[in-house]
Amino acid sequence: MRVTMIGTGYVGLVSGACFADFGHTVTCVDKDESKIARLQKGEIPIFEPGLDELVKDNVEQGRLFFTTDPKQAIRDADAVFIAVGTPSRRGDGHADLSYVYAAAEEIAGLMNGYTVVVTKSTVPVGTGDEVEAIIKKTRPDAEFAVVSNPEFLREGAAIGDFKRPDRVVVGGANDERAKHIMTELYRPLFLNETPIIFTERRTSELIKYAGNGFLAMKITFINEIADLCEEVGANVQEVAKGIGLDNRIGRKFLNAGPGYGGSCFPKDTLALMKTARDYKAPIELIETTVRVNTARKQKMAQKIIAALDGNVAGKTIAVLGLTFKPNTDDMRDAPALDIVPTLQAEGAKIRAFDPEGMTEAKHMLKDVQFASGAYDCVQNADAVVIITEWDQFRALDLDRMKDALKTPIVVDLRNIYSPPEMKAKGFKYFSVGRV
C-alpha cells in the first residue's frame, strides 16, 4: 500500500516508520524544511528508543521517504494520514484543530482517485465530520472516505505499542473500499490476531479521549490515596499492589508521584472536559481530575520545601530528572515545569540533570544550572529531588551521593528507593505515600 503521513511529529514519524516496516511505501510530509532536511540525513528530531534504527533500515530499503512537497505523495496515496498537532487552544482549553483542517484542505486539492483520509491526530468528537465537509466543499467530485484511527502510543515504548498493540480502533470504515485499505494496512496485526475494532467514526474519536481520561483518573486516584497513606501510616505501594492484583482494576498506572504530564493526558482531559460541557453532559470526574492534578504539582513543591525545614532561600537543590517520564526528551507539561519555578520563587537555587531532556528544558526553565551527570548535579547541594524515574537514577552509589551532598536530604517523588535502606545509609529521606 502507498501511505502518506502529514506531519512528522512524534505520532507521524513513529507511525510512518512502523507502517514502512510492515512493508508499505510511506512518504512523510512536513512543512518544516529543517526537520525534513535532518530526517533525510538520518537525524531523528525526537528521542524514542529504537526509532533511529527503524527509520534508517526502512530508508535504506526504499520504503520510507521524507519531503516538504505533498503533491506527488498525496496523488499517489491509497491512504493519507493526518498526524499534525492538536494542542490545547489558548483561553478555553479546546483542542486547536487549525492544523487538522488546513491538512484536510491541502489533501482535498491534491487527491487523485479514491483515497482514504485518516485522522491519526487526537481530535474531539465530530472532527471527522468537519474534515469530510471540508474535502467535499473543496472537491465536490472527489472519491474518498474519512476514517478515524486514534493512536495509543506511549512515549518511550512507541514502536512496541504500534507493532504489538492491545487493540487497533478504526472508525467510519463503512465504505467497503475504506475497510479493505485499512485492513491491508494493518495486515501484520490481523495475522497476529490483534483485536481490531471497527466502529462508528464519532465512537472511535471518543474512545481515545475516554481511555486517556480514565488513565488520568487512575493516576490521580492513587496520588490522593498516597496522601492518605502518609497521614495514617500506610504504604501506598503495597496498597497499589493489593488493589492492582484485582483484575477488574489492574496494576498499571497505580504509581504514586508528582502528577501526570506529557503530550496527551493534560490536553486530552481538558478537551474532553470542554467537549462534554459544550454538549451539556459535563464529566465531573474528569473536571476534578484536572483540578487535583494541577494542584498536585504545587503540593510536591511544598513537600520539598517542608523537607528542608520550611525554608529553601539560598539553598541549592539538585533535581534529577526533568522530562515528564523516562525514555523521552518530552518536556510538555512535565511536573518539573511547575515544581522548579515554585522552588525558585521561594529563593532556591536549582541545579538539574536529565539524560535526554536538557536541550528542551533550557528553553522552558530559567536560571537553572544544568549539570553533566547525576553526581555533578548533587555536588554540595543542600538536598536532592528525584522527579523523573530514569533507570540510571535507580542504582546510584548512595555512599558517593551522600559524600557529595552538603546535607544528606533526599526527596524521592517516584518512590524508587527503599525508606529503610535510605535511613540506614544516613539519609533524611522523604517519599510519596510512605512513612
What is the set of active-site residues?
Answer: 264
DSSP state of 375: H
C-alpha cell at 181: 485499505
Paired with 351 in beta bridges are 318, 369
Indicate the pairing of strand 368-370 with strand 2-6: unpaired
DSSP state of 155: T
Under 8 Å between Cβ of 431 and 412: yes
Query: Closest by alpha carbon to 260, among 291, 216, 292, 226?
Result: 216
H-helix segments, 233-310: 236-244, 265-278, 284-307
Please give the backbone phi and psi of residue 316, each rounded to the nearest 5 degrees, phi first: -95, 120
For residue 295, with 0-12 CB atoms within 10 Å meaning exposed, 13-18 middle and 19 or more buried, which class applies? exposed
Assign 49 to helix, strand or coil.
Answer: coil
Q: Which residues contact 126 (CB under 8 A, 6 or more apart)?
A: 202, 205
